[in-house]
Structure 1
Amino acid sequence: MSETAKNTPEDLQDVNAAEETASEDVAAEATGAESEEVVIEDPIAALQAEVAELKDRLLRQAAEVENTRRRAKKDVEDAGNYAITKFARDLLDVGDNLRRALDAAGDTSQADPAMKTLFEGVEMTEQALQKALEKNGIEKLEPLGEKLDPNHHQAVFELPHPEYPDGHVAQVMQAGYVLKGRLLRPAMVGVTKNPAGSNPSKDDTPGGNVDTSA
């Protein structure tokens, strides 16, 4: 008998098992190849995501640096513009005293020459002080007749006034000042509060619109 005829069923089962094992090995190798391809693609995607994240982080840090630079520049400008704030407030007191002296002197037309000379000297000193303040960006506020502005005016009392509607400045007790747009001292004012029925219209106030159509 030939060797093929001598194969038993058990031998055939071993052969079949060997073939199945070989097939499984081939399938495993194919699957492994696919896995290797996936492993190769994943690092690229991860690197792209990392690059995008780093780019976003870099842009954010650049924006923060720019904001910091702008804030520092503004701080330097403010320090230069408003460094004289305290000194300027002290000078305002000097100006107030000069104005009080001039107001107290009243009419000096009949005064003796020495008094007139003193009055003129005080007046010239006040004018020189005002020019020095203006030269350094300090503007005087005299809001007579204007509508009350809480940002620049401090109302200290109310009074009736036939020429101004309610809520307007009818008297300036103390002039206000601003330093390059920033309030240095509010103007102390009296505000109109007219009795009911006697409030003039806005067009009747000084500087108001006048109807010329008639």
Structure 2
Amino acid sequence: MTSLILRPSRQIHSLVARRLPHAFSASSSSSSSALPRRFSSSTAGAQAETQDLPTGQTADASSSDPTSTQNKKTLTVEDQLAQKDAQLNEYKDLYIRARADFENLQKITSREKAQAKEYAIQGFARDLVSNIDVLQLALNSVPEPLRTVQEDATTTTSTTEGAPESRKHLADLWAGVQSTKSLLEKTLALYGVTPFNPVGQQFDPNRHEAMYQAQVPGKEPNSVLNCSKVGWMLRDRVLRPAQVGVVQGSDSS
């Protein structure tokens, strides 16, 4: 019974295969092509998911990592502190320099103020010593014998070779001019203005003004021979140089 049923089915299958060969080939090819396509698409999707998953996880892990964010914030704060320290040192250096400059300016100003106070009368004193020179010329114009009044041994009246009264008046005038000159010199001395006569000293171009030179035997060369006009000092500053004659050295020397 079984053999009777199977035998016709085999015959039918072989008969159909011989008469319809294209149908079996098309169906087999379509089924075979469909399987790889299904397999390839699923494999590609799996690969894509496999490739995308670590990247996303890495990005999420890096973005959500609190340690790296804290390190970045710490580095930023440290950089800011370093910049602030550099600025602070720069401003401190500028402050120290400015303070030193200000202190130096104060010292210079105080010194200049003191010098201005000490030498404020320089112009006035220079004009005044010129007037003293005029008084000295007036004193020098009176001969030395006429500068004093001589008392006669036998009488108490003043006697001279000419007119006794005129000589007495001249002597009194000379004494008055001398007193005026001395008073002016004392007043100037209170303010540090003093005269100097360099006769016999070595010539100093900073203090002396040479009016002439002369060869004088027995005198030291380059020494001051005489002084036609005394010099004046205002403390340690030359107010007016002395006008002098200088001894000239011999040609043999």
Common fold, TM-score beyond 0.5?
yes
- In structure 1, the residue matched to 2:23 is none
Q: Deviations over 1:4-37 (max 9, x none)?
A: xxx7364145224422443355457565544332
- In structure 1, the residue matched to 2:32 is none
In structure 2, runs of 5+ residues without a counterpart are 1-41, 151-159, 161-166
Higher mean C-alpha deviation, range 182-191 or range 154-163: 154-163
Structure 2 Cα separation of the partners of residues 44 and 158 of structure 1: 79
Structure 2 Cα separation of the partners of residues 56 and 164 of structure 1: 65
- In structure 1, the residue matched to 2:136 is 99
- In structure 2, the residue matched to 1:138 is 193
Structure 1 Cα separation of the partners of residues 43 and 171 of structure 2: 147
- In structure 1, the residue matched to 2:25 is none
Structure 2 Cα separation of the partners of residues 100 and 48 of structure 1: 77
- In structure 2, the residue matched to 1:69 is 106
Structure 1 Cα separation of the partners of residues 100 and 76 of structure 2: 37
Task: Measure how far apart 1:114 and its partner are.
Answer: 2.1
- In structure 1, the residue matched to 2:212 is 157
Higher mean C-alpha deviation, range 121-130 or range 40-49: 121-130
Structure 2 Cα separation of the partners of residues 146 and 73 of structure 1: 37
Task: Measure how far apart 1:99 and its partner are.
Answer: 1.2
Amino acid at match of 1:92: V
- Residue 157 of structure 1 aligns to a residue whose secondary structure is strand
Higher mean C-alpha deviation, range 27-36 or range 85-94: 27-36
- In structure 2, the residue matched to 1:88 is 125
C-alpha contact 1:143 1:169 (8 A) present in aligned 2: yes
Task: Measure how far apart 1:43 and its partner are.
Answer: 0.9
- In structure 1, the residue matched to 2:75 is 38
- Residue 144 of structure 2 aligns to a residue whose secondary structure is coil
Match of 1:23 among 55, 58, 69: 58
Structure 2 Cα separation of the partners of residues 177 and 184 of structure 1: 5
Q: With a CA cutoff of 8 Å and minimum separation of 6, indicate the structure with the bigger relative contact order.
A: 1
Structure 1 Cα separation of the partners of residues 87 and 230 of structure 2: 63
Structure 2 Cα separation of the partners of residues 15 and 136 of structure 1: 107
- The 5-angstrom pairing of residues 49-64 of structure 1 reads 49-64=86-101
The 3 A distance-change label for structure 1 pair 162 and 135 is farther
- In structure 1, the residue matched to 2:13 is none
Q: Deviations over 1:94-142 (max 9, x none)?
A: 2111111222212125762222222222222222221111111102121
Give me the TM-score of the superposition, normalised by structure 2. Answer: 0.67
Structure 1 Cα separation of the partners of residues 72 and 204 of structure 2: 76
Pairwise CA RMSD of aligned residues?
Answer: 2.5
C-alpha contact 1:144 1:170 (8 A) present in aligned 2: yes
- In structure 2, the residue matched to 1:206 is none
- In structure 2, the residue matched to 1:175 is 230
Structure 1 Cα separation of the partners of residues 221 and 61 of structure 2: 100
Task: Measure how far apart 1:42 and its partner are.
Answer: 0.9
